[in-house]
Amino acid sequence: MTDPWQAPDAPVPPRFGDYTTPASPYQSTDLGQGWAPPPKPGLIPLRPIGFGTLLGASFQVLRRNPKATFGSGLIVQAAIMLVTVVVVGLVTFWAIDRIDSAPLAQRDAVTAGSVLVGVLSLIVPFGLSLVGSALLQAVIVLEVARATLGEKLRLGALWRRAATRLWPLTLWTLLLSVALFVGTAVVAGLVVLLVGVGGVAGIVAAVLVGLFGGLLLLAASAYLYAKTCTVPSLIVLERLGVRASVVRSWSLTRGYFWRTLGLLLLVGLIVQVIGQIVSTPVSLLSGLGTVLVDPNGAFAEESTIISLILSVIIAIPVAAVAAVVQSAAIALVYLDLRMRKEGLDLELARYVESVAQGGNVPDPYLIPTTPGAGHSAA
C-alpha cells in the first residue's frame, strides 16, 4: 500500500532514444529552457507588432527590396506628376492664349469655355492617379506579405501579381475619393449659400458652418480611414471584393480603433516631417540661387521654369518614399490585427516551417483562420 504522506517520485528525464520527431527550427532544443523567441524568417518577427517594430519595418521595406519598392514608387509618382504637368500645363497655356486672342465681345463666353476645358483636363491625371495609387498599394502589400515569410520577389513579379487585383482596388480608391469630394462639396456649398444670403448673420453662420463642418468632415474622414485601412490588404491578399473587404476590415479593427488610428497618423506625420526636411532646403537654395544669378529679374520666366523643374525632380522621390512607407505601414497594421485576433503568426510560422521542409502548403493569407470570415473573391 502506498503511503499517502510519502513524497512523489521525481520525474524520470527522457532518454536519448525517446524522441521520434525532429525538433522544430523555431523551438529551443535545450530541455531546461521553456521559452524561445518568435521566429523571424524575414521582415518582422512572427508575433503581434509593436509600434517600434512597425515603424522600423515600414522603412526597412525600402532597404530590403529597393528596386521593387522604391522603383515602383518612383515609376508611379513620376508618371502621375509628369502627366499632370504636361496635360494641365498644355491646357492652361492653350486656354490663356485663347482668352487673350478672343474678341472683347466674346471674351466672357471664351473664358467660361476655357475654364470648363481646364477643369475637364484634370480627369486625365486624376484617373491616372487612381490607377497608379491602387497599383502601388497592391505592390507594397504583396511585398510586405511575402517579405514577412522571408521571400523576395522582383519588380516584374510583384507587378504581375498586383495587376490581378488592380481593378477592385482602383474601385475602392475611387469610392474614397468620391466620398471625400462629396463631403467637401456639401460643406463648401453650405458656406457659399449662407454667404449669398448676405448680412452679418449670414456671414457668421457661414463661418460657423465652415469651421464645425470642416471639423466634422475631418473627424469622419479619420474614423473611416482607421476602420477601412485594411481594405487594400484584404482585396490583395485575401482576394475579397470591395464590399466584403469593408465588412471584414470593420470587424478586424473592432477594439483596436484608437491604436490603429494613432499608428497611422503618427507614421503619416513622421513621413511628412521627413519630406519637409528634404524639400524645404532645396526650395530655399533654389530661390537664393535665382536671386544671386538673376538679381534684376531679367530672366524671370526662365528662372521660374528652372525652379519648377527642380521642384518636380525633388518632389518625385520624396512622394515615392512617402507612398511606399505609408502603404507598408497599412499592410503591417493588417498583419498585426490578424495576429492579435486570429493567430495569423502561428499560421505563418507553420507555413515557413513546411516550406523549409519541402512541403507544398497553401497561401496562409488566403485561407481564413476563423469560420465565417466571408472570404469571397471579387
pLDDT confidence bin for 150, thresholds 50/70/90: confident
Greater confidence (274 vs 144) lies with 144
Select, from the ranges 113-122, 133-142, 286-295, 361-370, the one with the highest average predicted confidence (pLDDT). Answer: 133-142
Alpha helices in 123-198 (DSSP H): 123-148, 155-163, 166-197
- Count of CB atoms within 10 A of residue 235's CB? 29
Condensed to tens digits (0 to 9), the pLDDT of residues 76-87 reads 988 888 888 888
Residue 141 predicted with pLDDT over 90? yes
Condensed to tens digits (0 to 9), the pLDDT of residues 171-199 reads 999 999 898 889 888 888 888 888 877 77
pLDDT average, residue stretch 66-73: 90
Alpha helices in the chain (DSSP H): 51-64, 66-101, 107-121, 123-148, 155-163, 166-197, 199-227, 231-237, 242-252, 257-293, 300-342, 344-356
The DSSP string of 33-74 is ----PPP-SSSS-SSPPPHHHHHHHHHHHHHHSHHHHHHHHH
The per-residue pLDDT for 169 is 93
Q: Tell which residue, 374, 375, 40, 372, has the closest CA to residue 362.
A: 375
The per-residue pLDDT for 40 is 77
Domain residue extents for the chain = 48-167+255-351
Q: What is the pTM for the complete model shown?
A: 0.79
pLDDT confidence bin for 291, thresholds 50/70/90: low
The C-alpha atoms of residue 310 and residue 103 are separated, in whole angstroms, by 38
Computed over its alpha carbons, how large is the radius of gyration of the chain? Answer: 28
Span of 70-74, 142-146, 303-307 with lowest mean pLDDT: 303-307
Cell numbers at 291, concatenated: 536671386
Q: Tell which residue, 96, 134, 165, has the closest CA to residue 377.
A: 165
Q: How high does pLDDT run on average in the chain? A: 80
Span of 224-233, 245-254, 304-313 with lowest mean pLDDT: 304-313
Greater confidence (368 vs 176) lies with 176
Condensed to tens digits (0 to 9), the pLDDT of residues 349-365 reads 888 888 888 777 788 88
Span of 175-179, 261-265, 297-301 with lowest mean pLDDT: 297-301
